[in-house]
Copies of this chain bind each other. A is one copy, B any other.
């Protein structure tokens, strides 16, 4: 315990038996387009409110992972999910339609790896099986709740990030007997690798004293660095043990802070340059006018459930550390003079 204080070891390494990644219109126009399983043409998704659209995106992801794993609702032990909306509106209303035991998670944008952590514990320890985990966010619901009415058309400062309209989900099972095949562009049939969850590091809440709610990357970066360093120390690993390390949604500013802080801690910047990236910098093109990059629970959820998972099953990445990052401010805490606490949870994935 004392040695691996923050890191949970999954002895049975549960399998991610299926995964689904969904984006909105703008996300489908970005560089991740081909990695999403589906992108919307209209972010309303046939619903009357943005909140219902977001909830439906999460439900689609949940339903699709079930379908892809060949499981029915009766096979699913539990759903663990969360989102940015007050009282987890997207998740709660998704769960109402699912009739599956449900546990709501809140870690702001760190929710994807938080639910992956606890879902893995449930499956690894055989407490539950075929556990579905996931997270979502929607630009319009987040703007309405955290910032300004969209109709107001306010200017966004260069440090602001764009909340991704996206959802991601995964199913965790303690066995995976099905070999999946895929044909490449030349028509060659290839056996897909299986992805397993090896261990996870629960983050501490770190507050660097940032008070500007348009500086989320700066607020979360120290928490990400704390979790990475504790993870590497707990597991006695160098950072390039991993083929790739991804933070959730620090954006361009946060990513450069992480790079600097890790260099200060003795990590070789050349190695970092090779292995480290941030979902917030990956999800949009610079020309998409998103300023400092993407954010929101759905940003890392959709990239981990899409890009990362697919790269792993195809054998392009073998060992990956994924880490969603959250800013735990509330809508009223800044008015009470509070700075922004950050948190990040890391999960080590590997292929077999």
Q: Does A88 contact B (CB under 8 A)?
A: yes
Give bound CA distance, A87 to B49, whole Å.
21
Q: Once the chains are docked, how many angstroms separate the CA of A204 from the CA of B105?
A: 15
Given contacts A87-B328, A92-B341, A104-B105, contact A99 B204 (CB under 8 A): yes
Chain B residues whose C-beta falls within 8 Å of the C-beta of A333 in the assembled complex: 51, 87, 89, 93
Q: Does A203 contact B (CB under 8 A)?
A: yes
Tell me the complex Cα distance, A50–B30, Å. Answer: 44
Q: A87-B106, A92-B341 are in contact. List 14 more A-B contacts (CB 8 A).
A: A5-B77, A49-B336, A86-B86, A86-B87, A87-B330, A95-B328, A95-B343, A96-B207, A99-B205, A102-B343, A103-B118, A105-B105, A106-B106, A124-B125
- Report 10 cross-chain contacts, Cβ distance below 8 Å, ordered by A residue: A1-B129, A8-B122, A51-B332, A89-B330, A93-B338, A95-B328, A102-B205, A105-B105, A121-B127, A125-B125
Q: Does A6 contact B (CB under 8 A)?
A: yes
Cβ of A64 under 8 Å from chain B: no
Given contacts A87-B330, A328-B88, whether A104 and B95 have CB atoms under 8 Å apart is: no
CA–CA, A193 to B118, complex, Å?
30
Q: Does A52 contact B (CB under 8 A)?
A: yes
Contact of A86 among B96, B101, B206, B330 (CB under 8 A): B330
Q: Is the CB of B88 within 8 A of A106?
A: yes
CA–CA, A52 and B122, complex, Å: 33
B102 near A87: Cβ-Cβ < 8 Å: no
Interface residues of A in 183-214 (CB under 8 A from B): 201-207
Contact with B along A66-104 (1 / 0, CB 8 A): 000000001001100010011111001101101111111
Q: How far is the CA of A32 from the CA of B261 in the complex (A)?
A: 51
Report chain B residues within 8 Å CB of A124: 125, 127
**Minimum distance in angstroms from A130 CB to a CB of chain B:** 9
Is A108's CB within 8 Å of the partner chain B?
Answer: yes
Tell me, rounded to whole Å, the shortest Cβ–Cβ distance linking A290 to chain B: 23
- A8 near B95 with CB under 8 A, answer no
**Count of chain copies:** 2
Q: Which of A88, A201, A328, A338 has the most CB of B within 10 A?
A: A328
How far is B88's CA from A82's CA once the two chains are assembled, in angstroms?
Answer: 12
When chains A and B are docked, how far (Å) is the Cα of A51 from the Cα of B337? Answer: 12
The verdict on A128 contacting chain B, using a C-beta distance below 8 Å, is: yes
CB contact between A101 and one of B89, B121, B125, B204 (< 8 Å): that residue:
B204
Q: A103-B107, A125-B125 are in contact. Are A78 and B332 (CB under 8 A)?
A: no
- Is A272 interfacial (CB-CB < 8 Å)? no
Give the residue name and chain of the B residue nearest to A174 (CB): B1
Interface residues of A in 1-21 (CB under 8 A from B): 1-2, 5-6, 8-9
A236 CB to closest chain B CB, in angstroms?
Answer: 18
**Are B114 and A205 touching (Cβ within 8 A)?**
no
What separation, in Å, do the CA atoms of A338 and B96 have in the docked complex?
11
Is A331 interfacial (CB 8 A cutoff)? yes
The distance in angstroms between the C-alpha atoms of A89 and B74, with both chains bound, is: 35
Q: Is the CB of A106 within 8 A of B82?
A: yes
Q: Which 9 A-B pairs have the closest CB atoms?
A: A101-B202, A125-B125, A92-B328, A87-B330, A89-B330, A95-B205, A104-B106, A8-B127, A106-B106
